[in-house]
Structure 1
């Protein structure tokens, strides 16, 4: 079992150690972003620009990070975002991540592109799981994935809607990353994959790739075929957020795919307040993108989020420390959030609002 290095005291330390462990092509996959990586960097920088308003002498007796989301009791507002192919970082893959998440009392969102069968992950998991769904070209195949997730006990569906085509991952391309065959998306085996004939000199994007991409009518259908809570992940526009609520969606995840899809999108910290204003409390809003500190989570909650999701850092922690690393990474975030709540005088999560943020003009 790998030992967590004694100098790992923050998420950036896991990233540093993971860089020394993972092969260069895998690092390019895990840490790479779309095109020039501008949105990826903006995610980190936007949280750093926000300043907090410290408060003193608050009554913090009975303080807690607990919350209820979609009827589920949670110990804290940190979830593990869906990430493909955990086996790139650890031999036990998603099993180790799920174990670490459970030890830290966190929900893990399992990717459609996981390297382990979703039934096997659920059978060994000791904590709650949500299922991230990539809608398939045929509704029958999509329904098959939904029914499998329901039967395995997954508690929510997270539908990724911001990647009908993959972003231009130049860092991966330069590094020559190729996913090993044994770590491929086993949950898609047996499903129907469209075959697109691409002539030389052309991209497949406008030659049929988008013909079966999901549309709003597919979301309406999806809402009708499952009783699980349905969240749309990848919402960056208030217009789309409003339309999602009108479609009966249960929750929204403000996300730019970690900067891995369309480059030069705004940071999620910039998009979040616009979307929470549009949603106006009708459904919970979550967010991801650049969350590296408990203070980042506090800022997200102040801007209207109910919870946050952690992406790349879970893979860094998995590579360095396995299940224990994932649990430790989440524990660090929770401790940092507790410190931030104490020093801003917020005893409960629902007390965290925009007054936590220091406005220069004030």
Structure 2
């Protein structure tokens, strides 16, 4: 099957991954209302088609936090991504480099910072949660700085993990010990290609960045137990100052969904924010990113770059987010599906599709530069 869209890659990922991993990528929290809203509200944005304009030269290049990129798209942090393909984060960072866009390594990646840095030839971003063990955070921040990461993507919308029913049904969460392991093993046997390439030859499966604190208990149930016990619910805006004292680069706060929080982020010293509802994986029933973005843009009033994620499956969706006021868009599930479907080559192809779709959308709305994309190309927001 030749993938012609992100949805095609989703179907390939469904066929190739064990159920517990596909559901982890694909699912949201509770009834998945916000997950559905993210896509539906983007699709409701109608664009004004314009004609008889010179659109022979389309420029997608942009500059974010002092770095130049080929287009206003980045790869968002994805937990456990290295379980979707052999040493998956290393494949993803190479694809991002080839496309000239930023890659963000998750705290809970399979490949540790050092391994990803060795696979890369340019700097990448690093994502971090607020964790109770400050010594652990300090060490991770020092490692990321030593590896040359210029931007810290600090995720703030997960003081406690949301309940994701699909993970319980699939056996990824809530099925501890031998029973859970056997259940996942049985699912892996139904995907022999994955079992051979990733399950066997993709080792170690130790979640490299948190392996030092997990110790010998490196099973998936140990990882989820660690998350539940070590994410910090007491985090406040004052903690941004502590992060700043430990981090020499830029700080991008991810997980902003309310205008008041956007203002507080600016006052706390953030260099940029990501408007995000965690892909519908945290508070079910929350606003979609498309609906949350415009009032946040108005509240911040150009004081810092604003990126967005949530529901983006095409270059057309990227243009819609830019029209709503974002300066950049992070792709999450889109690259996770492609990675599972065909590794680095598939991510590169997916990004080529997004680039081509952006160029067509810009041409048909009469825009040739990112600076031309704004509310005036939107016909209505349903």
TM-score by length of 1: 0.90
Alignment partners' CA distance in 2, 1:147 and 1:172: 33
Report how far residue 16 of structure 1 moved. Answer: 1.1
Contact 2:5–2:350 at 8 Å: present in 1 too?
yes
Report how far residue 101 of structure 1 moved. Answer: 1.5
Aligned pairs for 1:178-327 (under 5 A) are: 182-191=204-213, 213-327=234-348
Contact 2:132–2:230 at 8 Å: present in 1 too?
no
Q: Out of 28, 32, 39, which is 1:33 matched to?
A: 28
- Provide, for residues 291-334 of structure 1, a one-character-per-residue CA deviation record: whole Å limited to 9, x for no partner: 01111111111111000000111111011111000111111101
Report how far residue 268 of structure 1 moved. Answer: 0.3
Aligned pairs for 1:97-136 (under 5 A) are: 97-136=92-131
Does 2:171 correspond to 1:161?
Answer: no
Distance 1:209 1:116, change over 3 A: closer
**Which deviates the most, 70-79 or 172-181?**
172-181
Alignment partners' CA distance in 2, 1:41 and 1:59: 37
Which secondary structure does the structure 2 equivalent of 1:358 belong to? Answer: strand
Aligned residues: 344
| Structure 1 alignment gaps of length 5 or more | 194-203
Contact 1:46–1:267 at 8 Å: present in 2 too?
yes
Contact 1:25–1:175 at 8 Å: present in 2 too?
yes
Contact 1:43–1:267 at 8 Å: present in 2 too?
yes
Does 2:68 correspond to 1:68?
Answer: no
Alignment partners' CA distance in 2, 1:183 and 1:235: 31
Report how far residue 87 of structure 1 moved. Answer: 2.4
Which secondary structure does the structure 2 equivalent of 1:114 belong to? Answer: coil
Contact 1:101–1:127 at 8 Å: present in 2 too?
no
Report how far residue 221 of structure 1 moved. Answer: 1.8
- Provide, for residues 245-300 of structure 1, a one-character-per-residue CA deviation record: whole Å limited to 9, x for no partner: 01110000000000111111110000000111111000000000000111111111
- Provide, for residues 129-174 of structure 1, a one-character-per-residue CA deviation record: whole Å limited to 9, x for no partner: 1000112213332221111101001120000000011100101101
RMSD: 2.1
Distance 1:115 1:360, change over 3 A: closer
Report how far residue 359 of structure 1 moved. Answer: 2.9
Q: Out of 39, 44, 48, which is 1:44 matched to?
A: 39
TM-score by length of 2: 0.86
